[in-house]
Amino acid sequence: MQIGFIGLGKMGSRMAEKLVSDGHEVMVWNRSSAPIEELKLKVKSEKLKVAETIEKLICQLETPKVVWIMVSHQSVEEVLAEVRKFIEKGDIVIDGGNSFYKDTDRRFGEFEKSGINFLGIGVSGGVIAFEKGYPLMVGGSHSGYETIIPILDSLAKPNGGHEYLGTGGAGHFVKMVHNGIEYGIMQSLGEGFEVLEKSKYEFNLLSVAKLWQKGTIISGFLTDRVRDALEKDSALSDSAGPISASGEGEWTVNTAKEENVDVEIIESSLKYRQKSQTDEKIQDSFTARVINALRREFGGHTVRSVHGKEAKKG
């Protein structure tokens, strides 16, 4: 299948690479050239094509055109405005970034009026999903979803998956709540390992993490990433610093309040991240180190250290 792919960040680049490796023809565009050159070095295939502009990318696609946008939620509106100049009735536009579901609801309605199939897809799994398969939370046009199933199947291989969850911003709503839950779990892991680290027993934290992965109730993806981080540095010394947030945690809390739902754990973990921006005690805590290490392990996020230097991405 043929697809245009706009945005080659940490996630977008690997997704484009995965699609090419599974036989799809992928036309890419990125604002800066460095990610394109890196992708070309990795992917030695005639199925990877590079467009000089968004206009040229779209105009070279076969009808119905499929355009996947993988940019930060702050840039989506600008990129969509450019895309809309060149797409036509029956084409498919996908926002695969972390957009707020209300924005996706609005965009879905705007594109629907023009006969364009708009999809908002929440993508999880981090950078390691390239190998394990991406979980894809789909909302928007159902007919558009059915058309791109071959694309989604390729991205989901071997152990990921995709599900159509409803119209408008349904996919991004589910992804938002997913990330809110993620905040709470990461906070719990951080706090738990800090209790162990402060204990009089001088635990080998790596041994504990490995043991917890052997069938315990809290075994799983995130505990696995704690183990990976501890294997590299048992003190997580390069992970001290403020904890960044992508926005979904706050959106989840605000949406819950609109629905009169108490989300004390998610809200508490959000406030902890917010306080970490200025509170040096939090920045140097083992809890913060665990959370920052987790973000780096599964998402490739850079840690802003307390010493004013960026820690390695790992």
Instruction: List active site positions.
Output: 175, 182
- Residues 173, 225: Cα–Cα separation, whole Å: 25
Rounded CA-CA distance 108/101 in Å is 10
Write down the residue that tokens 């805590």 correspond to: 285
**How far is 143 from 77, CA to CA, in rounded Å?**
23
Nearest CA among 186, 177, 84, 48 for reference residue 122: 177
- Residue 128 CA to residue 274 CA, distance in Å, equals 27
> Quick check: helix, strand or coil at residue 141?
coil
List C-alpha distances in Å: 11 to 7, 98, 110, 128: 9, 11, 27, 9
CA distance 26 to 136: 19
Rounded Cα–Cα distance for residues 279 and 45 (Å) = 49
- β-strand pairing of 135-140 with 117-123: antiparallel
**CB count in 10 Å sphere of residue 23:** 11
Q: Which of helix, strand or coil describes residue 93?
A: strand
Who contacts 23 (Cβ-Cβ below 8 Å, separation ≥6)? 47, 154
Peptide bond into 158 cis (omega under 30): yes
Q: What is the DSSP letter of 310?
A: B
Residues 42/16, Cβ–Cβ less than 8 Å? no
Strands (E), 191-243: none
